[in-house]
């Protein structure tokens, strides 16, 4: 396998980051700005936050366009673009039910618009796909060659199926037009600047523990997830972007916890008085999830560095500021 090769310097490089006001894309934008690159952010604020854009705006080389990628991109006619990172999509299960059509249009029409732009600009294109393409997986840990087990009619389908479509569209642009593409399949990620109310397990449990409210475990809590701290995820995205393989890479941290363990770890770490309560399991909730990251580790020196305890500490500090 050819190893990752990074640019010698980033100062002259231009990164277009769709979804820049969101949690992961905000961190990715900051990473490339800190390397001295120009970052052009696009977001329509459907789930992203204006605070994230304010944070990025302190960098001189950050430009921002408020736009919806499936309703028309900003005019970039005279703008050099070297890399397009399609990180624009609401990604929380509560979003799947509230804004399903917007999610499907973002990942289909929006991805198409950005791929067309990559073709025109001769830019490398990275599609942020997801572990959700594996649905409720029947093999464990998940490897990239597994085709998945997705319910096309269920409540998670708007996200899962549109991301699968985006992967197919990305590969088609590569095969048909020779666009230089990469695909990452992002597993559960957490860290500062997540939305406190995005409904996901870590923001929910930390905020419940901080407020002394009941910790809401869905189902019996035996389902598992593998949690990656956001800086480790950004590092993985950086590696894949500069890899030489157009086929998908799983990215995440294989450190796997049951939801019940996760609740207990958070209650203990925060010294919280909250008690654990059990609520119904949402439909199609995956039972086990853990990335096999051998493929990524075969092309670079990637190892997740931030432990769950340390990551939770930093995330808790962030949420405390919002209380
Ligand atoms: N979950 C839970 N309580 C909550 C929020 C989520 O038990 O308050 C569970 C959820 O049912 C799932 C896991 O935690 O099994 C991870 O959910 P999340 O929404 O964070 O992400 P997912 O991996 O399902 O996309």
45-103 pLDDT tens trace: 999 999 999 999 999 999 999 999 999 999 999 999 999 999 999 999 999 999 999 99
Residue 9 lies in a domain: no
pLDDT of residue 189: 98
Residue 62, domain member (yes or no)? yes
Number of structural domains, the chain?
Answer: 1
**Ligand 1 mutation pick, 225, 258, 279, max ligand atoms within 8 A of CB:** 225
Place of tokens 């998670």: 156
Please report whether residue 4 resides in a domain: no
DSSP 99: S
Any atom of ligand 1 within 6 Å of the Cβ of 137: no
Burial profile 287-311: b = 16 or more Cβ within 10 angstroms, e = fewer: ebbbbbbebbeebbebebebebeeb
For residue 210, pLDDT beyond 90: yes
252 close to ligand 1 (CB < 6 Angstrom): no
Question: For residue 312, is it within any domain?
Answer: no
Distance 201 CA to ligand 1 centre (A): 5
Residue of 30, 3, 19 whose CA lies nearest to 230: 30
> What spatial distance separates the first Cα and last Cα of the chain, rounded to whole Å?
48
CATH of residue 132: 3.40.50.720
Measured at the alpha carbon of residue 135, what is the angle toward residues 103 and 316, in degrees to the nearest 5? 70
pLDDT at 323 over 90: no
Domain presence at residue 185: yes
Q: pLDDT tens digit string along 221-261?
A: 999 999 999 999 999 999 999 999 999 999 999 999 999 99
Q: Is the CB of 216 under 6 A from ligand 1?
A: yes
Give residue 126's domain range. Answer: 14-191+227-254+290-304
Q: What is the pLDDT of residue 2?
A: 95
To test the pocket of ligand 1, the residue of 196, 201, 230 to mutate (highest count of ligand atoms within 8 Å of its CB) is 201
Tell me, using a 6 A CB cutoff, whether residue 200 lines ligand 1.
yes
Look up 134 and say whether it is catalytic: no
pLDDT tens per residue across span 114-155 = 999 999 999 999 999 999 999 999 999 999 999 999 999 999
Q: What percent of the chain has pLDDT over 70?
A: 100
Tokens coding 156: 């998670």
């Amino acid at each position: 396998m050819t190893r990752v090769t990074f640019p010698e310097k980033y100062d002259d490089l231009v990164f277009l980051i769709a979804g820049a006001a969101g949690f992961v894309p905000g961190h990715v934008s900051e990473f490339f700005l800190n390397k001295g690159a120009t970052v052009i952010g696009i977001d329509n604020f459907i789930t992203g936050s204006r605070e994230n854009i304010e944070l990025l705006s302190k960098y001189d080389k950050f430009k921002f366009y408020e736009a919806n990628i499936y309703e028309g991109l900003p005019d970039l006619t005279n703008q050099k673009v070297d890399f397009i990172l399609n990180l624009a999509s609401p990604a929380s299960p509560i979003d799947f039910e509230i804004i399903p059509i917007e999610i499907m249009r973002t990942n289909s029409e929006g991805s198409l618009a950005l791929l067309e732009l990559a073709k025109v600009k001769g830019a490398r294109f990275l599609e942020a796909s997801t572990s959700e393409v594996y649905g409720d997986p029947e093999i464990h840990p998940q490897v990239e060659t597994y085709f998945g087990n997705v319910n096309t009619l269920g409540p998670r389908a708007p996200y899962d199926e549109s991301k699968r479509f985006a992967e197919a569209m990305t590969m088609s642009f590569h095969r048909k037009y020779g666009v230089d593409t990469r695909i990452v399949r992002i597993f559960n990620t957490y860290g500062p600047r997540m939305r406190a109310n995005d409904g996901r397990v870590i923001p929910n449990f930390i905020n419940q523990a901080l407020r002394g409210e009941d910790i809401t475990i869905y189902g019996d809590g035996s389902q598992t997830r593998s949690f990656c701290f956001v800086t480790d995820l950004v590092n993985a995205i950086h590696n894949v972007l500069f890899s030489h393989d157009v086929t998908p890479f799983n990215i995440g941290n294989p450190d796997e916890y049951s939801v019940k363990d996760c609740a207990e770890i958070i209650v203990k770490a925060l010294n919280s008085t909250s008690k654990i309560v059990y609520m119904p399991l949402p439909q199609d909730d995956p039972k086990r999830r853990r990335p096999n990251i051998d493929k990524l580790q075969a092309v670079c020196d990637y190892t997740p560095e931030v432990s769950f305890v340390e990551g939770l500490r930093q995330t808790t500090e962030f949420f405390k500021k919002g209380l």
